[in-house]
Amino acid sequence: MKIKTTHERSPGVILARKRVSVEGAVRRPLLLMVLLLFAGPAVGQTKNGTVVIRGGTLVDVRAGKEVPNTVIVILGERIERVAAEGKAKIPAGAQIVEARGKWIIPGLIDSHAHAGDYEGDPLKLYLANGVTTIRNPGGSVTLLRLTREKLESGKLIGPRLYFSGNILDGNPPVWTSSLLVDTPERARSAVNFLADQGVDFVKVYNNVKEAELAAIVETAKVRGLPVAGHVPRTMTMTHAIELGMTRLEHIRITGKEMLSAEEAEKIDPLPAGKREAMLWQRFALGSEKFRDLVQRLAASRVFLDPTLVTDEYFNASNIEAEKSDPNNRYVSAEFTQGAIQSFQNPLFQIPPELKTAAVEAVHKEQLFVGMCNEAGVRIIAGTDGPNMGRLLPGFGLQRELELLVEAGLSPLQALRAATSTAAEALGKEDGLGTLEPGKLADLVVLDADPLTAIQNVRKVRTVVQGGKVYEPGALLEQTLAEAQKKQ
């Protein structure tokens, strides 16, 4: 039985997922009937491919206002018109989605989701929770290409998928699934390989050195690709930005940035669980160094993807709480077992004497995010899932938005982190992130106002992706049946 283990602090990929054949699984007639019943969770489409969302309150995330009694006319996969009710002609034969008394937001984007390169990923859960797009920062480029083809052809139901493919790491790598970039020549070769495979960006990792990072950035710029990733442990966040990293995954502030050289040398090489607790235990958020770093992040216009929910998951939760989450019924026993193994990965283990510091680290990270937001740093919402419990697909992003609001963002700013700003980070703002004519018809109808309480993003009534209408209840029922079939 093959065990797949990947990324530091990437629970969706490091799940130690077991790839097993299900060809010999016992078929259960009743479950098969349920699967057939829900095989088409998209509401029946009209012959002319026109959908109209009528009467809801549009949440204009760009302008920061709500527009009541809005009509959105969708033709094919794109929005044709957005207008006030009474000023938009309803095309004959259009499929009508009544949204009176509801709120309409752009489809949500999970900017850090390690899904799509494992056949056991319950991708429909993303759609059921209003997540219409995911950005995978590290996984098998071959499997991700194949999954994207299935999603685009309609053979698979799930979110839009953008990805970096295999991560780039130095020698020794943290994970053997990485592409080794231990010389500038190999760095350039790796970037060109990934670019030729159709990736949307490249991701660097912990052990990349300065000369290789410079070569990665230079080559990626020629190929039109952003450079994202962890701040390598060999340098400061400030220097990584100076070299050209524009998307920062997690909050990876090295000891080199804030501590004495002696302390940094002792702590920076440690495994993540112990290292991050010890670093944040020593970080003084009110220091001049921290204020300078925040201003540097704001001035450089980088995107910061805090993934607070995954640190909450590993640092402030416990395995029993996550195992008992009732939403785990939507995933297979194999998926859950992989999640349990990730919790027990030595890389993430926190010594008992540092447990309090680890919990406090999550609070300090939130304070740091609040400082960044106040300074104008571009924050995007990602989860580092999927995993069990609070990190299940879609549910994890909803929790991340709540944590961002707790950190000091307004509900509107948190929504932007998962819509308009997230689209900019992808370089896809021309098609995603807001609800305007010409853009892709990705939207979510909510039962309650998300600007009143961000928790209302959990109250998903209807999801539209590329003009196709999905009912969350049907998606959840189908996902449940698929999970039960694999038990």
pLDDT digits (tens, 9 = 90+) for 283-341: 999 999 999 999 999 999 999 999 999 999 999 999 999 999 999 999 999 999 999 99
With beta carbons less than 8 A apart as the criterion, state whether 164 and 193 touch: no
- Banded model confidence at residue 42, pLDDT cuts 50, 70, 90: low
Q: What's residue 326's pLDDT?
A: 96
Residue partners of 142: CB distance under 8 A and separation at least 6? none
Q: What's residue 486's pLDDT?
A: 85
Give me the amino acid identity at 101: G
- Banded model confidence at residue 10, pLDDT cuts 50, 70, 90: very low
For residue 386, whether the previous peptide bond is cis, meaning omega lies within 30 degrees of 0, is yes
pLDDT at 67 over 70: yes
pLDDT at 246 over 50: yes
With beta carbons less than 8 A apart as the criterion, state whether 385 and 114 touch: yes
Reported as a single tens digit per residue, the pLDDT across 277-294 is 999 999 999 999 999 999
Residue of higher predicted confidence among 73 and 29: 73
Question: Buried b / exposed e across 319-349, counting CB within 10 Å, b at 16+?
Answer: eeebeebebbebbbebbbebbebbbebebbe
Residue 279 Cα distances to 160, 293, 441, angstroms: 36, 16, 44
Question: Buried b / exposed e across 67-95, counting CB within 10 Å, b at 16+?
Answer: bebbbbbbbebebbbbeeeeebeebeebb
pLDDT at 11 over 90: no
Reported as a single tens digit per residue, the pLDDT across 367-410 is 999 999 999 999 999 999 999 999 999 999 999 999 999 999 99
Reported as a single tens digit per residue, the pLDDT across 96-118 is 999 999 999 999 999 999 999 99
Q: What's residue 71's pLDDT?
A: 98
Say how many Å lie between the first and final Cα of the chain, rounded: 17
Reported as a single tens digit per residue, the pLDDT across 129-149 is 999 999 999 999 999 999 999
Assigned token pair, 334: 């194999």
- Banded model confidence at residue 46, pLDDT cuts 50, 70, 90: very low
pLDDT at 419 over 90: yes
Q: What's residue 320's pLDDT?
A: 95
**How far is 310 from 405, CA to CA, in rounded Å?**
16
Q: What's residue 230's pLDDT?
A: 98
Q: What's residue 343's pLDDT?
A: 87
Domain extent listing, the chain:
107-434
Judging by beta carbons within 10 Å of its beta carbon (0-12, 13-18, 19+), is residue 289 exposed, middle or buried? middle
pLDDT at 24 over 60: no
Beta carbons within 10 angstroms of residue 392's beta carbon: 26
Average of per-residue pLDDT across 228-257 = 97
Longest Cα pair distance anywhere in the chain, in angstroms?
73
| DSSP secondary structure letter of residue 94 | P
- Banded model confidence at residue 120, pLDDT cuts 50, 70, 90: confident
With beta carbons less than 8 A apart as the criterion, state whether 434 and 419 touch: yes
Kind of pairing between the strands at 95-98 and 65-75: unpaired
pTM > 0.95: yes or no: no
What phi and psi, each to the nearest 5 degrees, are found at residue 238? -60, -45
Q: What's residue 26's pLDDT?
A: 33
How does DSSP assign 358-375, residue by residue?
Answer: HHHHHHHHHHHHHHHHHH
Q: What's residue 14's pLDDT?
A: 41
How does DSSP assign 216-271, residue by residue?
Answer: HHHHHHHTT--EEEPPPTTS-HHHHHHHT--EEES----HHHHS-HHHHHHHTTS-
Q: Single out the residue of 185, 154, 182, 179 nearest to residue 164, CA to CA.
A: 179
Helix axes 272-282, 355-375, angle to 10 degrees: 60
Q: Single out the residue of 76, 66, 74 nearest to residue 102, CA to CA.
A: 66
Distance of CA 302 to the CA centre of its chain: 17
With beta carbons less than 8 A apart as the criterion, state whether 147 and 156 touch: yes
Q: What's residue 48's pLDDT?
A: 58
pLDDT at 417 over 60: yes
Give me the amino acid identity at 3: I
Strand ranges (DSSP E) for 156-229? 160-163, 168-169, 179-180, 202-204, 227-229
pLDDT at 45 over 80: no
With beta carbons less than 8 A apart as the criterion, state whether 471 and 462 touch: yes
Give me the amino acid identity at 153: S
What number does CATH give the domain 107-434?
A: 3.20.20.140
- Banded model confidence at residue 487, pLDDT cuts 50, 70, 90: confident
Q: What's residue 47's pLDDT?
A: 46
